[in-house]
Chains A and B, each alone.
Chain A
Amino acid sequence: MRPRLALPLLLLLLALAFLASLAFGELRLSFSQVLNALGGGGDELARTVVRDFRLPRALIGLAAGAALGASGVVMQAFFRNPLASPGLLGVSSGGALGAVAVLALGPMAGFAAATLWALPVASILGAFAATGAVLMLAQRGAGTERLLLSGVALNALLGAGTSFLLTTTVGHFEVNAQILFWLMGGLESRAWEHVAMAVPGILVACLLLLPLGRAMNLLSLGEQSARSLGVDVRRLRRQLIVLSTLLTALATAVAGIIGFVGLVVPHVLRLAFGPDHRRLLPYSMLGGATFLLACDLVTRVFPLGLRLGVVTALIGGPFFLWLLRRPR
């Protein structure tokens, strides 16, 4: 496909997904009602639904999707492995364990009121701990097997921690339900405070990533050759790992574990528009946002009790298997 068409196409799809997120739901609104409500007009019910409920939800879906898409591209270039992604490597699980620890232990320690802001902090700490573990387990340029197997081990370990916290809080129904939310991922009852918690950080991290695409191209074809061609590899690697972990952590803090976005989205876009990271980074941000909003729409339009993380996994799981079977 012609790369010139990519940006307008992706922007159009994102705009459609965003508007649809504001229009669809239990109360079906027309696009003109949505636009009226956004502008402060229309009837009060539509205004409340759009501005207090759907807008923060859609903004979080957009930001989390962009964050996960970008994070996936970065990890693939960093590990020089197209199968790397925050979910498979255990970074999402690390963020989730951090968040779940706050949810489970916060009320017991008696600082429930502080948990809202403790969440992203704990999520960031958990994600960085997981990233550190991946870096130790699988050296750069590690083969697919080693990388994915360390991801399997790490995911199991972190999942065990999360399950432990889940069983210790079995008596507290509220807490238990909240933890399940993190495990399955979702955008329900996200409010403006969640937007404030994650969106600015994600925006800044994405903007900081964009100029790194040129050097990422060199890194993705070999660390030593990149260094000999003039890339400050140590600095670049530090920037990449900090920003991508931060993006995954912030997305996880407000939306829970959502797998496969960071794997599926960059892959499809790379197949369509090529591997140049100067384009692939912004495309994956837009594509990730669109994909997540579309999956969230599925959970709302088909009232089957599907969770967002379940929908992305239903699409991403088979896609991943197809990738593994595909000759490279």
Chain B
Amino acid sequence: MTAALHAAGLRVPGRLEPLDLDIGPGELVAVVGPNGAGKSTLLQALAGLLECEGAVAWEGRPLHRIPAIERGRLLAWVGQEAHFEFAFPVREVVAQGRYAWDDDPSGIAEALAELDLTHLADRPVTRLSGGERHRVGLARALATQAPIQLWDEPVAQLDVRHALEVLRLARQRVDAGGTLLVSLHDLRAAYRFDRVLVLDRGSLVGNGPPHDILTAPLIREVFRVEATFVQSLVPELPRD
């Protein structure tokens, strides 16, 4: 099966060492690594938002051959920063996700509801809290209905209920055949993913199922913290 995301010799000088990668379709993949390891750089490079060396392909098509408008239909990227300078109402920001579909409005109301934004739909996006603004960015990405979704630290600023909800939505998209690559700081959440990529100082140092990859020695080596594995109370992620 053709990989949803393919990278060969992908390199961003000074920020990302050459790496090869094949993801999906139908895979939920986490990217972890310390601050400055290159998580955001990897996501931006795969999304075609950075000058980089090497080859990137989406669904088997070389990125440089995909016209701008089709890129908007195939892949949605959500940045780490959720800063909006102009006071568009939330609904209009989410509706921007339909740009590549000629502003066809289908899916906007669902995306608002999925991110618990329906009651904020008419509020200017500049008057939201940081976490609410992140949810607006995610809702806009969901509204694109793009099969490939790259989310850069989507849950770092969310409260636990909304964070769990976002992880549930990610799983739901994947179950529907989508492909998701999500960068995370919370290693505990990464165990719920199908696969984990570990970045350290710009290099890919781990790539595989979370229980095989996120071991105490690797966590010590990459994150310089001692990790102990314990049985603990973990709120179960609802699966539907």
Residues of A in contact with B (beta carbons under 8 Å apart): 80-82, 214-215, 217-218, 220-222, 224-225, 227-233, 235, 270, 274-276, 328
Contacts and interface: CB of A to CB of B under 8 A. Distances in A.
A82 B88 CA distance: 13
Contacts of B71: 227-228, 230
Contact of B79 (A218, A225, A276): A225
B88 A276 contact: yes
B72 A221 contact: no
Q: Interface residues of B toward A: which range? A: 35 or more
A230 B84 contact: no
Contact of B44 (A215, A224, A230, A233): A224
Contacts of B85: 80-82, 220-221
Contacts of A214: 99, 103
Which secondary structure dominates where chain B touches chain A? mixed
B92 A231 contact: no
A90 B93 CA distance: 32
Interface of B: 44, 47-49, 67-73, 75-79, 81, 83-89, 92-93, 96-97, 99-100, 103, 126, 137, 140, 144
Contacts of B48: 227-228
A275 B87 contact: yes
Contacts of A276: 88, 92
Given A221-B93, A224-B44, A224-B77, A229 B86 contact: no
A110 to B, nearest CB: 50
Contacts of B86: 80, 82, 220-221, 270, 275
A81 B83 CA distance: 12
Given A81-B85, A221-B84, A229 B79 contact: no
A228 B93 contact: no
B76 A229 contact: yes
B49 A227 contact: yes
Contacts of A232: 67-69
A42 B86 CA distance: 51
A229 B93 CA distance: 11
Contacts of B47: 228
A80 B88 CA distance: 13
A328 B144 contact: no
15 contacts: A217-B96, A218-B96, A221-B84, A221-B85, A224-B49, A227-B71, A228-B47, A228-B76, A230-B70, A231-B68, A231-B72, A235-B68, A274-B88, A275-B86, A275-B88
